[in-house]
Amino acid sequence: MLQLIEDDPWLKPYEADLQTRLDYFKQRISEIEKDHGSIEKYTLRHKELGFNYDKKQKGWIYREWAPAATSLSIIGEFNNWDDSKHPLTNIGNGIWETFIPESEGLKHLSRLKVRVGSPNGVADKLPAYTKFTVQNTETHDFTACLWHPEKHFKWTDQKFNLKKVGAPLIYECHTGMAQEKEGVGTYKEFEKEVLPRVKALGYNCIQLMAVAEHPYYGSFGYHVSNFFAPSSRFGTPDELKSLVNTAHTMGIAVIMDIVHSHAVKNEAEGLNNFDGSGHQYFHEGGKGYHEGWDSKLFDYGKEEVERFLLSNVRYWLEEFHFDGFRFDGVTSILYHHHGNGVGFDHYDKYFKDGVDWDSVRYLQLASTVAKRIKPDSILIAEDMSGMPGMCQPIEAGGLGFDYRLGMGIPDSWIKLLKHKSDEEWKMEEIWNVLSNRRYKERTIAYAESHDQAMVGDKTIAFWLMDKEMYWHMNKEDENLIIDRGIALHKMIRLVTASAGGEGYLNFFGNEFGHPEWLDFPREGNDWSYKYARRQWSLVDNEDLKFSYLNDFDKAMIKLIEENKILSSQAANLINMDETNQVLIFERGNLIFVFNFSPTNSIPDYKFWVPKKGKYTYLLNSDDVQFGGHGRVDEDVVHESFQENGENYLSIYAVNRTAFVFKRV
């Protein structure tokens, strides 16, 4: 019996489905090993297709997969964009090839395209495996650039050990909006100005969004055109490498937000209709189009598509030293219906109608490749469906990922803030959302990510304090709305981080209560960058209350890291008091106490503890250094006492406050 079924007996009726899923994967591995020797060799397609320098011949071999094309020619600055000078030859299996001696002028940063002829006409495209593209600022046209610098980037991160990073404390970032200026930030600016902030806060991992090239900045990087090219709007490939290298020397892991769930529909810049067939990399017709995203959907059952994407996984790990991936849109990948309008209320939904078995297999292959290339790589699945086995080993019947995003947690917080008064908050609802996760499947918990802050919504801080943040964030200014907002902001983040999963994520800037929302420049806002930036000056100004939240976040992350909370067993509920709105649990030998009541501070609040002894304060959200009211003496040591043979503590449980105790 598969381990997955032993862990979850409710899966027993689906044993045949799970075994078929596993056999389908194993069959593909056997085919790959038979035809290509190993999956490692199979995933070197980027060294076979695209432009690759041949030292012996002193020139460039260019190959492209375009099975429906009738002709291909390389055009560029080096040949005056003349399609008669460097035609490609069809060498079989849809592969086209040509050789260009370096004596003919093709060199580093040469701009070029490939002209593709098909029964439907002629079109200029960017090579599918291009490593670098640039956009003309006047015409907005994208062109491929040959990336072949004389000196290779020199890595100095050899001492970085991903194993030592431990449970991921993730700082989710976007390079372009990482600066305060109204414009697009760069890799260099991020390396110099943001990485030190990450280190100071104590996060051990950054998650970079919008890495691969995307024509429309406002897509947040999710409409990818060139899968092997880092976005040039932020800098060069070597500047991205420098960013990763510096992060590693600071002990910070770097994971990439990788988008293999869909691709931009643009034909000029992307893969769409590359060979003129309309369905080369993607499914044909409506099956190949995502209506909600207005983008193209990959056909994971095609070998060349599979090799393209798997080689892409390998490329980012090896070439740029990324430490893993957050796989975007996994629910869309898994199902023919892409999760649209489907409630996953029965196990049939995971194994019967609607499941795309080629896609499931692709995700298994992707996790296999990542672990073969970098065994300690971090793999996170953005799946809202709850697919069983997502984060279980493939041999156990799973898909081989390490973590799933706890997507229900931020949704729950926003729902509470939007629809319920503070008095209506139920401890059972909060606890159930934070503790509800599949056995043996690790979760990345978060109170908010970039999704919650997008235009049309607001950050948690702005939900709590709204326009009052514009006028009452000076430390000398007393305001009840701001007091409430600061208190709950701290509590929401601490309870989420400590009880919600085995990893934690924060969207950068939100730790200090970044106001307002995110909005990229677009026609609807007159192409403004006002909301596509991070206002670091707010937290750097010691006269403002933003520093309270920042200092609390720093203390919280330190506590979680030093006490190995996220690698401890799941939180154990101690007390759920709906009358007083008090929630208490134990995790990692620490006692977490939350009083969510807006008004009820309780002297001599008594609760059971698992061990007798003396308990000291490790963290107090009501501390004045965190913008609290200092109503509790943290020097007090609470000693347990016995009643009916059980151990109890008695504390002053002040309202809208969280405490963390440690037994000494």
Q: Which helix (H) or strand (E) holds 42?
A: helix 39-42
How many Å apart are CA 234 and CA 267, to the nearest integer? 23
* Burial class of 449 by CB neighbour count within 10 A (0 to 12, 13 to 18, 19+): buried
Q: What is the DSSP string of 360-410?
A: HHHHHHHHHHHHHH-TT-EEEE--SS--TTTTS-GGGTS---SEEE-THHH
Based on the residue annotation, tell me whether 83 is a catalytic residue of this protein. Answer: no
Let me know: does 50 contact 228? Beta carbons within 8 Å.
Answer: yes
Nearest partner of 423 among 655, 658, 659, judged by Cα: 655
How many Å apart are CA 634 and CA 640, to the nearest integer? 16
Please state, in angstroms and as integers, the Cα–Cα distance from residue 68 to each residue in 49, 267, 512, 514, following that order.
Answer: 17, 15, 54, 51
Which amino acid is residue 287, in one-letter code? K
At residue 101's C-alpha, the angle toward residues 99 and 106, to 5°, is: 100
The radius of gyration of the chain's CA atoms, rounded to the nearest angstrom, is 27
Find the DSSP H helices in 224-345: 237-249, 303-319, 330-334
Find the DSSP H helices in 517-637: 536-540, 546-562
Burial letters for 593-625: b for 16+ Cβ neighbours within 10 Å, e otherwise?
A: bbbbbeebbbeebebebeeeeebebbbbbbbee
Nearest partner of 377 among 265, 532, 255, judged by Cα: 255
Of 8, 172, 257, 382, the catalytic one is 382
Of 239, 328, 519, 553, the catalytic one is 328
Nearest partner of 145 among 117, 113, 171, 111, judged by Cα: 111
Let me know: does 252 contact 206? Beta carbons within 8 Å.
Answer: yes
Please provide residue 103's backbone torsions phi and psi, each rounded to the nearest 5 degrees: -65, -15
Q: At what angle do helices 480-499 and 546-562 cross, to 10 degrees?
A: 20
How many Å apart are CA 286 and CA 269, to the nearest integer? 21
Residues 6+ apart with CB under 8 A from 109: 145, 146, 147
Q: Is 339 left (phi over 0), alpha (psi -120 to 50) or beta?
A: left
How many Å apart are CA 161 and CA 248, to the nearest integer? 9
Based on the residue annotation, tell me whether 17 is a catalytic residue of this protein. Answer: no
Other CB atoms within 10 Å distance of the CB of residue 279: 17
Let me know: does 313 contact 258? Beta carbons within 8 Å.
Answer: yes
Overall size of the chain counted in residues = 664
Nearest partner of 144 among 64, 59, 245, judged by Cα: 64
Q: Which helix (H) or strand (E) holds 35?
A: helix 15-36
Q: What is the DSSP string of 611-627?
A: S-SEEEEEEETT-GGGT
Q: Which residues are catalytic?
A: 328, 382
